[in-house]
Structure 1
């Protein structure tokens, strides 16, 4: 009820705010005025709430930490404040835009998540509540993981809207850059998760990592094959190159799926996804551009993507030698293994930062490609750091000692937890055990050995 009331107040506030457009030149999406202080505070608050606090709260929720609720409360409060500031700014004016239209839906997701969290905290488990509780638990967890993804999209919309980009003829190529760039970053994040905490989960699936990579590559290639060119019209500019790239993706993806098992049906590593990434990088490095700045940025993007593919080939062939991980329990990593995922992060930011309008703006401002690329790499370093910090936070909780009996130790790597709210974790005194029974038996034997001198005395 409280969540519905707050949401109603936010909607009424947004509707009462007048979006002045009298200073916006004809044919433009924004006015030439600068961003005022209120709007800058809105931007910083939302980045902190949606980009930092909500992901941290998500991880704390997964491990059932007592800090989950306080962090989510603070994040929600800051998000509401930022939302209100977004409707109270002066200065630059904006026409009708996707950022403003998407914001209420994102806030509805947060309030729905909060309402389910409050319901679960009430522990209503009898009668009808007992029947629906498990569904609400699942919905609460799923929505909690969707919110950071939805927030990422909204932050991209915010940047696009603030600069008045992606309008008219620029919409298609702009969408392609942000979608593909985000896909590379998502690929890098998933790669990092599998590297640090997902090896035993991967083993349980009975599939190699390249199987899943190849399936996604094949599906993405099919989409690109039929969407990069308007069939029935003349081939223009880079249509043929983009379509050919889609073709090679689904062809290589099918091969990668086939090679992901040996003749006995066992999961097997292969190099096909890495080769596809390297070839894509080579193709993009030679992408013809109109501006010198754009040519250089696309070239470095291509080289970075090539490096990601090549380093992954080296990782699989020489570091891991076709194994899933260095150690049996999947906990140990080689420093070289962090290179391929980071290069995917960097590739994503480089591609998202290489749209036509961005390149024209920077070129007119006299920004060199060297300075711009260094900035984009810096952002990639920060995101890679943040993802590693979230994963360290996760492992800190699941590796912490508890007073309860250890559950399945392999559950530490698949993010599962007990229904009563305690993380399913092994005893921290021995993180390398293979199963809980062996550990408990070893503990009993140690206690018996300690008691022997006392009995003799």
Structure 2
């Protein structure tokens, strides 16, 4: 972000007071149109189009075309507004890179749609397919960053002395939201992938916790300098993350070497929430918001402990797709949602945001309810996308997936006919969600001129 500070942003800087990131004028209708159009294109249509592409739905191309047109229109509206003006900011600079990603994605999509498979173009096609898939997955993440940067730029936040704590809040808050999204994906569509990986969910969680702990240990304090403010608390939090993470990795297998669930990641989340609930703040409203954030994070850790110990009754993680239990207990939706809520609460608790609440006498109760409402909407959107993915696989994408063969000790069906797949079979089959081959055309999967049969 510091590297982008020298970038010249659009707008008339004469109305911006020295040291401020934005002028005092109101946001005009053109800028509001830019915000709404870009939010629709990047926040809703592109992720939906990505899911449609994964299941080879015929609406994938129309959806992405509409989103691309709206994104281009919104891009130019962002440079045509009056009213509030802005100093040099990262949002303006990153927009160029995001549009370059979009242009590259569109070019790759058109190229793949033309089916140019002769000579050199045919030899590089598989790499083009993978690039299209990877870029398609990266664009929603980049769009999330850009939307956050847009919100920050619109208020002139995160400049000068506020930059460090602002980065910490938005990075960690986004990480909690991402963690919640990943847990939702694994709960609804990812059990087969975990079974094929031969690892428990806590193995991967503990690796991330360990890495993040090492990073926090050496970045939360300027080593060699004096210990100030909350340096010691942040650093000690990093230490317990990597220390506990190593234990979580060790416990992710039982004595027989099978993948095993454990409570260590949940304990880390709970203790992090406890530490943040007692984080000293300058303003009363900030103290209350951080307390609610800490309690929410503690609830997420506690809920996951209850899920593993009492809902799932500490059973071994499946190491074969046939062992997957298709039934999802309603309680299992609680830990992911609480992580969404924790993320939005933390992103909404920066120093400058708290100062605005204090100046306008907004109570922490009203603010928390708004952030929880946003969390519910985000959770709903993710659930809808995952349902769209699963329904798409059921309706039209099953021909590209492996057939479910019965195990040696499992009967095929009456009179030798294939048995009807049950819910566990469908979940195992749907477990291909992490594979980019979902974007490859039928001709590439089954071979040119070959019958349309399942690939094993």
Coarse TM-score class (shorter-chain normalised): 0.7 to 0.9
Is 1:387 the equivalent of 2:387? no
Query: Size of the alignment, in residue pairs?
Result: 412
CA distance in 2, matches of 1:129, 1:338: 46
Does structure 2 retain, via aligned residues, the 8 Å contact 1:200–1:330?
no
Q: 1:414 maps to what in 2?
A: 432
Aligned with residue 363 of structure 1, among 355, 358, 366: 358
Deviation at 1:362, TM superposition (A): 1.2
Larger radius of gyration: 1
Residue in structure 1 matching 2:368, options 363, 373, 378? 373
Partners of 1:392 and 1:273 lie apart in 2 by 27
Secondary structure (helix, strand or coil) at the match of 2:247 reads helix
Q: Deviation of residue 366 (structure 1)?
A: 1.1
Instruction: Report what 1:283 is aligned to.
Output: 275
Change (3 A) 1:357 1:405: closer
**Aligned-pair distance for 1:328?**
3.9
**d(CA) in 1 for partners of 2:46 and 2:34?**
16
CA distance in 2, matches of 1:329, 1:77: 42
Q: Per the alignment, do residues 18 and 257 of structure 1 end up closer, same or farther by CA in structure 2, a change over 3 Å counting?
A: closer
> How does the TM-score come out when normalised to structure 2?
0.87
Q: CA deviation at 1:403?
A: 9.2
Normalized against structure 1, the TM-score is what? 0.87
Q: Does 2:335 match 1:340?
A: yes
Superposed CA offset, 1:364-418 (max 9, x none) = 0111100000000000000000000000000001112679597334342122456
Residue of structure 2 equivalent to 1:309? 301
CA contact (8 A) 1:278 1:310 kept: yes
| Aligned residue number for residue 112 of structure 1 | 104
Q: Deviations over 1:166-204 (max 9, x none)?
A: 000100000000000000000000000000000011010
Note if 1:49 corresponds to 2:70.
no
1:42·1:85 contact (CA, 8 Å) conserved in 2? yes
Cα separation, 1, equivalents of 2:398 and 2:311: 38
Computed over aligned residues only, the root mean square deviation of the Cα atoms, in angstroms, reads 2.1
CA–CA separation in structure 2 for the residues paired with 1:414 and 1:247: 36
* Residues 1:127 and 2:116 aligned together: no
Question: Would you say 1:212 and 2:212 are equivalent positions?
Answer: no
- The whole-number CA distance in structure 2 between the counterparts of 1:369 and 1:405 is 51
Tell me, in whole angstroms, the C-alpha distance in 1 between the residues paired with 2:251 and 2:398: 45
Task: Quote the offset at 1:262 in angstroms.
Answer: 1.1
1:229-308 maps to which residues of 2 (within 5 A)? 229-308=221-300
* 1:144 maps onto 2:136 in alignment: yes
Equivalent-residue separation in structure 1 for 2:225 and 2:397 (angstroms): 65
Residues in 2 aligned to 1:259 and 1:378: alpha-carbon distance in whole angstroms: 36
Equivalent pair of 1:174/1:355 in contact (CA under 8 Å): yes
Structure 1 alignment gaps of length 5 or more? 1-13, 425-435, 438-457
Q: Is the 8 A contact 2:180 2:340 kept in 1?
A: yes
**Match of residue 422 from structure 2:** none
* Cα shift at 1:264: 1.8
In the alignment, what sits opposite 2:163? 171
- Any gaps of 5 or more consecutive residues in structure 2? 1-6, 405-427, 446-453
Residues in 1 aligned to 2:314 and 2:443: alpha-carbon distance in whole angstroms: 36
Deviation at 1:127, TM superposition (A): 0.8
Q: What CA distance in whole angstroms lies between the structure 1 residues aligned with 2:57 and 2:400?
A: 18
